[in-house]
A and B are shown apart, each in its own frame.
Chain A
Amino acid sequence: MYGYTGKILVADLSKEKTSVKELERSRAKKYLGGVGLAASFIWELTDAKTDPLQPENPLIFVTGPVNGTGFPPTGRFAVCSLSPLTGIWGESHSGGFFGPMMKYAGFDMLLITGRSKEAVYLAIDDGNVELRSAKHLWGKDVLETTDRIKEEMPGAEVACIGPAGENLVKFASIQVCKYRAAGRTGMGAVMGAKHLKAIAVRGENEIKVYDVDKFVALVEEARQRYTKERWGIAAQESLGKYGTTSLVEAEQEIGRLPTKNHSTGIFKDFDKIGGEAVRKYVRKKRKACMGCAIQCKYVAVIDAGEFGGTITEGPEYETLVAFGSDELNSRLDAIVYANYLCNKLGLDTISTGKSIAFAMELSEKGLINQSIKWGDVETMVKLVEDIAYRRGFGNELAEGVRNLAAKLGAEAEKLAVHVKGLEMSGQDGRAHKSIGLTHAISVRGADHLRSISCLDELGYVDIAKERYPEDAKIILDLRSEKLKGILVEDMETNYAIVDSLIICKYGTMWPPIFYYSDYARLIYYTTGFKDYQKPENVRKLGERICLLRRAINARRGITRKDDTLPYKQLHEPMPDGPAKGEVVHLDVMLDEFYDARGCTRDGKPKYSKLKELGMKQVGDALAKEGIISKEH
């Protein structure tokens, strides 16, 4: 099959058995790859009762048809499973070099179930698969584990967990090529529960695309669009030069820089942790994911001071918020060090930083017997380690903001900034209404990357006019709830395709260079699937994936009441900045979104819509379980 290796590795760790399964063409056609393909398996292999930390929960490493080819960027893959942090659909993405190498090693997807008696790692060497003992690695951090495995398997790419994953911290990450992370939704804990320390891949397999001449020309066109022309130059000037760090300044300007546990959108010391400061003080080298033509990554070095000698990739915007503004910390060196620790110990920087920010507010309000002061970097650093090793109060934080709040009661719950159990990423719907809806409806919890719109956020006027000729003005209005349901539905569909190909949000979201007609060419030249020559069929693919993930969540009890926002954003007006006085009025946006998505007003997939998209079986199953009615 063009674009694919055509093979899935199935590993049952309880039985210590691995086997190779063919990727069915019909399945690839229907769900393409990435999160779509993974969702099709999670739908089949789990049910309402599957416990995310029990052996039966499948852990899926998945690529898309584009990964491993030359299309920029080619280095991504996703990890999907049921999340131990949220209890629902979990997905987490990473760049780097692991995804393509997985395909060169022979597999589009790894499907891992069971639980090994003893710690193991999975070594995939040019089609040969071996479960190797990881007893010598258990307890070791990410950096050492990666180095040791690379000694055993030179040239391999390694994805592994650190102590946090071993200790089942609910938001443990899977670290990839050391510094990249499949960070969100606790995929590292799923790996830890399986006693799977790492996966190492290496191989010489080659990927064939359907129309190589057209494909190579499209790669060249993409490279031009990423580096030249109006958006390419802008991308190089922002992402190329600063990575995501310059968002600190951009968000401060629109009053949307989460500060003091998402109390406000304005941080007085923003310039101490922003893109310019990063460039001046810590950025030492530009880096990139495989084949990328934007190249937003960088290496940070702290030369001197108490954190002197720290070297790590990042921090990204999200980490600058999580350990910076949101904790009222303006020390960039401490943020870099906290980021380094998270990479080393295998923790999601967003959930870790936000849990600590929550603890700081709880402490200030006297809701816990701990002295955790705003901006106290010593305590912050200590808490990161305590979370990973589940020591003292760190053990409480390791359960995530939602669980801790539930223990502490109603006052604490008002301060807990999460949706569906996932700590919120660095945006605030009060200053940017469409992101409020995005956080609320995201299938994995309070996350921006499933459907954030940068059109309104960063003011892409021309693109808004192209895509929504009649309504561009309203679409672009940051603080109006109008038409945001339409916008967010379109973005979610768009990104579901991006996440199944799998390419990057940079170039599709920021700047919004690629859209359905581009994906149509890309998919067709890669796979030869004729249906996808038509952009409207590509869009349908995105809709299928969105609804399948929703179906998985619906089966696990998710309804409209869960598509909500933290108390602060619904009930406490923004205290200062350009969005002063604003709250999010979710209901109108939700109605509009559900209608556009093909859901009932209760947020569940409509039977008629599932049927229309060729997913009658999914509809029948939901109807049989009494979750939806065939009438809708």
Chain B
Amino acid sequence: MSSGAKRKTRIMVDKEKCTGCKACMLACAVKHTGKYSLSMARIWVNEIDELEVVPNVCRHCISPACLKACNAGAIRKEGEVVILDMKKCTGCRACIDACPFGAIKYSNRLKKALKCDLCDGDPACIKACITNALY
């Protein structure tokens, strides 16, 4: 990340500004996999109806329900950021059920949970969002 910029500890969402373009999803996928897809994104843009589009992403809770639910010890806190270790993840979906925001998704291809890692404090999704719906 550029020197001097503050590391992000959370992604804020202004759903009024979101146009549903999914640029955030594509940026997230390529950052984590080196390939483009929607399936590997860790942020999801849900089109409710014509007038409402809602991006959904991990809140990095102070007291994360997902972390408590994970029996494999795959979820940990690194400072203020909640990290899911894909190597340890067994794909049991306990975290998915536990998260009150539906902010973890199950990947059919990987058979594992997918969750935002805040891109080491430099979120790719925020950079991709031209409307500032993410900040």
Tell me the A residues contacting B by CB distance below 8 Å. Answer: 68-70, 72, 74, 97, 100-101, 104, 203-209, 212, 216, 220, 223, 226-227, 284-293, 295, 297, 299, 301, 311-313
Contacts and interface: CB of A to CB of B under 8 A. Distances in A.
Given A208-B35, A288-B19, A299-B51, 4 more contacts: A209-B36, A212-B30, A291-B23, A301-B51
B51 A284 contact: yes
Contacts of A212: 30, 34-35
Given A74-B26, A206-B39, A212-B30, A227 B19 contact: no
Interface stretch (B4-12, B60-68, B95-103, B124-132): B124-132
A220 B124 CA distance: 11
A226 B36 contact: no
Interface string B48-81: 0011000000000000000000000000000000
17 contacts: A68-B37, A101-B38, A204-B38, A204-B107, A205-B37, A205-B39, A206-B29, A206-B33, A206-B37, A227-B130, A285-B19, A289-B21, A290-B22, A291-B22, A301-B51, A312-B50, A313-B50
A291 B20 CA distance: 9
Interface of B: 19-23, 26-27, 29-30, 33-40, 50-51, 107-109, 127-128, 130-131
Contacts of B37: 68, 104, 204-207
B130 A291 contact: no
B26 A292 contact: no
Contacts of A70: 23, 26-27, 30, 36, 128
A207 B30 CA distance: 9
A205 to B, nearest CB: 7
Contacts of B30: 70, 212, 216
Nearest to B110: A204
A281 to B, nearest CB: 16
Which residue, of B33, B36, B37, has the highest number of chain A Cβ atoms within 10 A? B36
A311 B130 contact: no
B51 A220 contact: no
B19 A286 contact: yes
A206 B38 CA distance: 8
Contacts of A311: 50-51
A295 B131 contact: yes
A187 to B, nearest CB: 24
Nearest to B124: A216
Contacts of A292: 21, 23
A300 B133 CA distance: 21
Interface of B is mostly: loop
B127 A220 contact: yes
Contacts of B38: 100-101, 104, 204
Contact of B19 (A206, A216, A220, A287): A287
Contacts of B128: 70, 223
A149 to B, nearest CB: 15
Contacts of B21: 288-292, 295
The 3 closest A-B pairs by CB, nearest first: A204-B39, A288-B21, A206-B35
Given A70-B30, A292-B21, A223 B39 contact: no
Nearest to A70: B26
Nearest to B17: A286
A72 B19 CA distance: 14
Nearest to B33: A206
B130 A293 contact: yes
Contacts of B23: 70, 72, 290-293
Nearest to B38: A104
A73 to B, nearest CB: 8
B39 A288 contact: no
Contacts of B39: 104, 203-206
A252 to B, nearest CB: 28
Contacts of A290: 21-23, 26
A485 B77 CA distance: 65
A282 to B, nearest CB: 13
B26 to A, nearest CB: 4
Contacts of A291: 21-23, 26
B79 to A, nearest CB: 27
Contact of B131 (A207, A286, A299): A286
A68 B109 contact: no
Contacts of A312: 50
Contact of B51 (A72, A285, A288): A285
Nearest to A232: B130
Contacts of A97: 22
Contacts of A293: 23, 130
B119 to A, nearest CB: 13
A69 B36 contact: yes
Contacts of A288: 19-21
